[in-house]
């Protein structure tokens, strides 16, 4: 039996990648002063009605539970965050800087970069109306990408101003129920022939295409770009009015990250959504955030031949030279594990050569050999890359490994 279409099995090497990626996200967010939160993966269906936008509603995994409630697997984290914040924000000093790495579920049409579940790094700032929050948030996104080994030659944050587009639609007297269709047409204009977009935009086509070609003044965008420039991050960002975002709740600066070669779907996306929290708690609270999935960035890193440091890798393998020393070797293994090293060894009598092969297979660069010298409390440490081997007392070997680890 196969997993359902769009769902993944994570074999250890796949999980190691996911963990490493999400650890980079977590580590970067913490360095920016963000705190981690979580919420339920199953929510009342009503949470997503009206809050997420038509496209996501059509992609919900929804059902009636045994208590006759209409429920849905979360397709995104933002409505959950809005609900949580609206309920308890008075308990916290503003601004809140919160992050999460939920698994989310969308019944999407299967295509490259789009699955039916993914893990999504979310970072949001709540309670800060000034554009300094945009600078901080986009800087976090850029630094996360940098910490994955990506450069400004690999990726770009395309930034736009949904507020500009909303004002544009109001000036043109476009009725509110048509706004979403216009945003959809702008969003698709990049991938579709101009004629098709013009048809969808109708009387607005000329004006919209002029903005797409020539841009438009936006002090907000100028200020955010200046903030990024001051941090030395401007190479990673550019203004692009084609970005409007599919979700309904955005109100201000919006952005999406793409690979420079335009090969992959959006790597991340987000923006300001100042009106959403009011719908949950009757109190307006400015907010902004982004989501970055694990799928597209994984494809991009693979395509560019970049790997992440494997946090799940084994550090040491203990080789038992002769079966007589198995229990002494067990004590050695235990001492290194107690000192915090990840250590493995062969569970049953195995030829020396086979043990060395197992160590290589597990990717360690060093083995510890336990032989007759253990009777004098001495072990050998062999570097599998340089082939150098040294004898050390157990205490010295522990110190030696600690020193090596610090150097890495």
Q: Is the torsion defined by CA of 261, 262, 263, 267 positive or negative? A: positive
Question: Nearest distance from residue 254's CB to ligand HAM, in Å?
Answer: 9
Q: Which residues contact 141 (CB under 8 A, 6 or more apart)?
A: 123, 157, 255, 257, 268, 270, 290, 292
Residue (77 or 85) nearer to ligand HAM, CB = 77
**Which one of 28, 120, 163, 355 is in contact with ligand HAM (CB under 6 A)?**
120
| Residue 359: other Cβ atoms inside 10 A | 24
The least distance separating ligand HAM from the CB of residue 87, rounded to whole angstroms, comes to: 18
Are 397 and 381 in contact, with CB atoms under 8 Å apart?
yes
- Considering the complex, what minimum distance in angstroms separates the CB of residue 343 from ligand HAM? 36
**CA separation for the pair 274, 284 (Å, rounded):** 7
Say whether residue 291 binds ligand HAM (CB under 6 A): yes
Looking at 51, 97, 118, 162, which residue binds ligand HAM (CB under 6 A)?
A: 118
CA distances from 364 to 267, 312, 382 (A): 32, 12, 11
Least distance in angstroms from the C-beta of 328 to ligand HAM: 50
User: Binding residue for ligand HAM (CB under 6 A) from 266, 318, 364, 374?
Assistant: 266
Of 28, 122, 218, 355, the one binding ligand HAM (CB under 6 A) is: 122
d(C-alpha 191, C-alpha 184), whole Å: 12
CB of 174 to ligand HAM, least distance (A): 24
134 binds ligand HAM (CB under 6 A): no
What is the nearest approach in angstroms of ligand HAM to the Cβ of residue 147? 17
Return the residue of 296, 359, 369, 397 that touches ligand HAM, per CB under 6 A: 296
Residues between 39 and 68 with contacts to ligand HAM, criterion CB under 6 A: none
Structure tokens at 129: 């109306």
Minimum CB distance to ligand HAM smaller for 76 or for 259: 76
State in angstroms the smallest separation of the CB of 98 from ligand HAM.
10
Q: Which stretch binds ligand HAM (CB under 6 A): 28-36, 64-72, 113-121, 201-209?
A: 113-121
Our CB check for ligand HAM shows the closer of 259 and 315 to be: 259
Residues composing the chain: 408
CB 381 within 8 A of CB 393: no
Burial of 9 (0-12, 13-18, 19+ CB in 10 A): exposed
Which residue, 124, 129, 189, is CA-closest to 163? 129
**Spatial contact of 193 and 298, defined as CB atoms under 8 Å apart:** no
Q: Which residue has the tokens 């250590």?
A: 343
Pull the structure tokens for residue 114: 């789009």
Of 160 and 355, CB closest to ligand HAM: 160
Contact between residue 121 and residue 28 where contact means Cβ atoms under 8 Å apart: no
- 293 near ligand HAM (CB under 6 A): yes
Subset of 73-92 contacting ligand HAM (CB under 6 A): 76-78
The two tokens of residue 120 are 């999504």
Which C-beta is closer to ligand HAM: that of 295 or that of 308? 295
Out of 8, 89, 114, 198, the only residue in the binding site for ligand HAM (CB under 6 A) is 114
Work out how close the CB of 374 gets to ligand HAM at its nearest, in angstroms, rounded to a whole number: 51
Beta bridge partners of 237: 157
Q: Considering only residues 232-251, where is the footprint of ligand HAM by CB under 6 A?
A: 247
Q: Where are the beta strands (DSSP E) in 39-167?
A: 42-44, 62-64, 70-73, 96-100, 103-105, 117-126, 155-161
* Interface with ligand HAM, residue 105, by CB under 6 A: no
Nearest to 281, CA basis, from 50, 86, 84: 86
- CB 299 → ligand HAM: shortest distance, Å? 10
Q: Which CA distances in Å does 12 have to 6, 130, 310? A: 19, 43, 11
Question: Which 267-286 positions form the footprint of ligand HAM (CB under 6 A)?
Answer: 267-270
**In angstroms, what is the minimal distance from the CB of 111 to ligand HAM?**
9
Determine the Cα–Cα distance for residues 364 and 343; give it in Å rounded to an integer: 10
By CB under 6 A, residue 295 contacts ligand HAM: yes
What is the binding site for ligand HAM (CB under 6 A)? 76-78, 106, 108, 114-115, 118, 120, 122, 124, 247, 266-270, 289-293, 295-296
């Amino acid at each position: 039996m196969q997993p359902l279409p769009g769902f993944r099995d994570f074999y250890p090497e796949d999980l190691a990648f996911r963990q490493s990626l999400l650890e980079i996200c977590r580590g970067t967010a913490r360095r920016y002063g963000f705190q981690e939160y979580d919420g339920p993966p199953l929510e009342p269906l009503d949470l997503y009605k009206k809050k997420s936008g038509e496209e996501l509603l059509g992609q919900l995994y929804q059902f009636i539970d045994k208590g006759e409630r209409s429920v849905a697997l979360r397709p995104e984290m933002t409505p959950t965050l809005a609900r949580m914040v609206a309920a308890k924000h008075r308990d916290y000093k503003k601004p809140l800087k919160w992050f999460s790495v939920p698994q989310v579920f969308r019944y999407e049409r299967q295509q490259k970069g789009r699955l039916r579940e993914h893990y999504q790094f979310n970072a949001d700032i709540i309670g800060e109306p000034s554009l300094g929050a945009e600078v901080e948030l986009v800087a976090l996104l850029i630094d996360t990408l940098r910490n994955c080994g990506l450069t400004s030659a690999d990726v770009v944050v395309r930034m736009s101003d949904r507020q500009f587009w909303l004002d544009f639609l109001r000036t043109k007297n476009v009725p509110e129920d048509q706004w979403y269709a216009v945003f959809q047409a702008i969003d698709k204009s990049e991938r579709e022939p101009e004629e098709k977009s013009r048809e969808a935009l109708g009387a607005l086509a000329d004006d919209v295409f002029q903005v797409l070609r020539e841009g438009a003044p936006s002090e907000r965008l100028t200020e955010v770009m200046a903030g990024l420039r001051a941090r030395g991050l401007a190479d990673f960002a550019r203004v692009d009015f084609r970005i409007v975002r599919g979700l309904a709740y955005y109100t201000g600066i919006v952005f999406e990250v793409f690979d420079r070669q335009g090969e992959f779907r959006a790597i991340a996306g987000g923006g300001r959504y100042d009106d959403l929290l009011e719908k949950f708690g009757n109190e307006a609270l400015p907010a902004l955030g982004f989501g970055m999935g694990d799928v597209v960035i994984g494809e991009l890193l693979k395509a560019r031949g970049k790997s992440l440091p494997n946090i799940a890798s084994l550090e040491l393998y203990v080789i038992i030279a002769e079966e007589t020393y198995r229990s002494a070797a067990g004590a050695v293994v235990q001492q290194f594990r107690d000192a915090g090293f990840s250590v493995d060894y062969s569970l049953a009598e195995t030829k020396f050569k086979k043990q060395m092969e197992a160590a290589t297979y597990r990717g360690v660069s060093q083995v510890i050999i336990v032989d007759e010298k253990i009777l004098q409390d001495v072990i050998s440490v062999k570097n599998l890359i340089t082939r150098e081997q040294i004898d050390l007392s157990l205490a010295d070997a522990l110190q030696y490994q600690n020193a090596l680890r610090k150097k890495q």
